[in-house]
Amino acid sequence: MKCDPTRYRASKPALAVKPRLIRHLFLPPLIILLMIGLGYAGYLVSERNGIRALSENGERQLELHARAVESEINKYTYLPSLLELENSVSSLLTEPDGEHRQTVNEYLEGLNRRSRSRAIYVLDTTGRVQATSNWRDADSYLGEDLSFRAYFQDAVRGQPGRFYGIGSTTGEPGYYLAHGLEEHGKVIGVAVIKVRLEAMEERWQRARLEAFVSDENGIIILSSDPARRLKSVRPLTQETKERLARSLQYYWWPLNELQPLAREKLSEGVEKLTFPGNAELGTEKHEVSYLAQTRRLSDTPWHFTLLTPLQDLRREATIQGVLAGVAFALLAILLIAWNERRKVIATRLAAREALEEANSQLERRIAERTADLRASNERLKGQIRERRHAEETLRRAQDELVQAGKLAAIGQMSTSIAHELNQPLAALRTLSGNTVRFLERGALDTASTNLRTMNDLIDRMGRITASLRSFARRGEDRGEASLGKAVDATLQVLTPRLENSQLQLHRDFSDVALKIDQTRLEQILVNLIGNALDAMRAQPQAELWLEGETSGDKYRLRVRDNGHGIDSEARKHLFEPFFTTKPGEQGLGLGLTLSASLAAAASGTLSVEHPASGGTAFTLSLPLLTAPTLPAEPL
């Protein structure tokens, strides 16, 4: 046995259902997870790129603003050293008296006004203020001991004193620049200028710039946000705090640490700081993140920090993250839709192919069946043709037989016909001879009586030949017949034979209209009654019963005689053609055969009975044309 490999290829494995189920169960959560993941990744990438762009831009801003701070600070750097050139100052420091002091006070006052500094003052080597620009003020520094100030200690050692601090007298913050005044290579005093740097803060605020400057201790000395001022940018040890408190540099400020909510170092000098919201800016509910870029200011141990808000960047990164997620979701939906559509198209194609296959199979089968049907149709047509031909032959044979039967009957009857016609002919000859003589004698009455008799005789002869002609004529297949007329015509035909016998005829039938040709019905009756007359020839009292009755849509006529009947051997062959028991030329054996076939041709039957009382009864059953009428009157 051979295996068809395609059969095994066609069937899909049963496990194919499982991956589909898994796909349907896990695909949506997977897509959502990927969407969130991609969204977050998009957010991070966007934020990183944004930070990079911001920090590049911030770099420039930082440089710009740091330079501005540097120039602001350096503006006053050389001012204290200029006092070295002023003779009155050196005079005061070498010989401190009231006159010199007043001169220097006024000089410093004027200088301070022009330089727009906060105060300028001169200290001796012990740290006591000898002259000051604010000598007129109540809180003047004059005579104050500032030896504890770091800037003094640096300057008296010949080093430049740089110091930011809160004034111990005024409690006002300021930037102190100190310079050791020398004479002949020896420090004789210290010149100090106090500058206020708050103007810078105001400039930053106006420019909406967030920045701060932290000093060497990490304390924010300048800040665009006042809340951050005097806070440490890095943790201070307890020891440092105590040292700073002792120095009174920041007066009694607690110097808390500037504690951002989050701090992330991005690179050297670049951090991401997150602060709580600012009540003044109305952002107390939200955290505020900044990109903090720090740069050391030249010539000072100070650092300038520029804060760039990351809010816009975050918003943009969020939007881009959402967009990335949505784009992925859209792409996934498109892919799923495309895949589904592909599957639908594949299914449709498969269905169409299957349909086309089924169609072509159906067409093939239809063609085969049609061919079969055509062949069987042809066969049937052939059979019909053969049947028709056979029917035609049969009908022709029947017609021939009927005709032959009729001719036979005519032949049979010819002797009696001849006798029947010869008698009137002989009478006619005698009568015509007599009439001629009566006319010659002038016996017109007798001649006239003879002529009337002759006329009657001719009529009788005409009736005989007419019934013979109608019997001999070929009948039509369809027609209608009156039973009464048919019986009368039959008796008319058989009159010569009836006259020879003492027949007692019993008529008990209706004059119904039957579906058969009149002549054919007469032919049947001639056969049946003729046979009966033959069978009853030896009977001393011949009796013939014609009994009729309606049976459904048919009418049954029973032709019964009291003849010799039919023996059992002859009964078997009654309806066979050319079966006859009649001697010599008397019988042809066609009568019953023809009668039965004529009855059958009119959808009727002809059957025989053998009554126990003797004789024979033939029953002719024929379809009724209309409803039966009243019984026919007896002859």
Interface with ligand ADP (CB under 6 A): 527, 531-532, 535, 561, 563-566, 570, 574, 579-582, 587-592, 616
**From the CB of 617, what's the least distance to ligand ADP, in Å?**
8
**From the CB of 514, what's the least distance to ligand ADP, in Å?**
21
The residue number whose beta carbon is nearest to ligand ADP equals 591
Query: Is 92 within 8 Å of 131 (Cβ atoms)?
Result: yes
Which residue from 78, 215, 67, 247 is spatially nearest to 160, judged by alpha carbons? 78
Nearer to ligand ADP, 204 or 618 (CB): 618
Task: Map residue 164 onto helix, strand or coil.
Answer: strand
Nearer to ligand ADP, 276 or 589 (CB): 589
- Radius of gyration for the chain, computed over Cα atoms and rounded to the nearest angstrom: 78
**From the CB of 500, what's the least distance to ligand ADP, in Å?**
17
Instruction: Tell me the DSSP string of 277-290.
Output: PPTTTT-TTS-EEE
Nearer to ligand ADP, 389 or 571 (CB): 571
Alpha carbons 520 and 401: distance in angstroms, whole number: 13
Alpha carbons 416 and 418: distance in angstroms, whole number: 5
Burial class (CB in 10 A: 0-12, 13-18, 19+), 208: exposed
Nearer to ligand ADP, 174 or 563 (CB): 563
Nearer to ligand ADP, 61 or 403 (CB): 403
Nearer to ligand ADP, 505 or 574 (CB): 574
**From the CB of 567, what's the least distance to ligand ADP, in Å?**
9
**From the CB of 366, what's the least distance to ligand ADP, in Å?**
57
Nearer to ligand ADP, 434 or 605 (CB): 605
How would you list the strands of the sheet with 161-166, edge to edge?
129-132, 119-124, 186-195, 173-183, 161-166
The dihedral of CA 462, 463, 466, 468: what is its sign? negative
Task: Map residue 217 onto helix, strand or coil.
Answer: coil
Which residue from 474, 580, 481 is spatially nearest to 521, judged by alpha carbons? 481
CA atoms within 13 A on the CB side of 439: 11
Nearer to ligand ADP, 317 or 524 (CB): 524
**From the CB of 622, what's the least distance to ligand ADP, in Å?**
19
Nearer to ligand ADP, 74 or 581 (CB): 581
**From the CB of 549, what's the least distance to ligand ADP, in Å?**
20
**From the CB of 551, what's the least distance to ligand ADP, in Å?**
22
CA atoms within 13 A on the CB side of 634: 8
CA angle 48, 277, 220 (to 5 degrees): 85
26: which 2 tokens?
A: 């896990």
Query: Is 520 within 8 Å of 598 (Cβ atoms)?
Result: yes
Helices (H) and strands (E) in the chain, counts: 15, 18
**From the CB of 421, what's the least distance to ligand ADP, in Å?**
23
Nearer to ligand ADP, 266 or 574 (CB): 574
Instruction: Tell me the DSSP string of 89-157.
Output: HHHHHHS--HHHHHHHHHHHHHHHHHHT-SEEEEEETTSBEEEETTTTSTT--TT-B-TTSHHHHHHHT
**From the CB of 503, what's the least distance to ligand ADP, in Å?**
13
442: which 2 tokens?
A: 């002038």
219: which 2 tokens?
A: 């304390």
Strand partners, 226: none
Measured from the Cβ of residue 47, the count of other Cβ atoms closer than 10 Å reads 20
- How far out from the chain centre does Cα 546 lie? 84
Alpha carbons 141 and 248: distance in angstroms, whole number: 16
**From the CB of 493, what's the least distance to ligand ADP, in Å?**
15
Nearer to ligand ADP, 436 or 570 (CB): 570
Nearer to ligand ADP, 507 or 582 (CB): 582
**From the CB of 494, what's the least distance to ligand ADP, in Å?**
13
Query: β-strands 503-508, 542-551: how paired?
Result: parallel
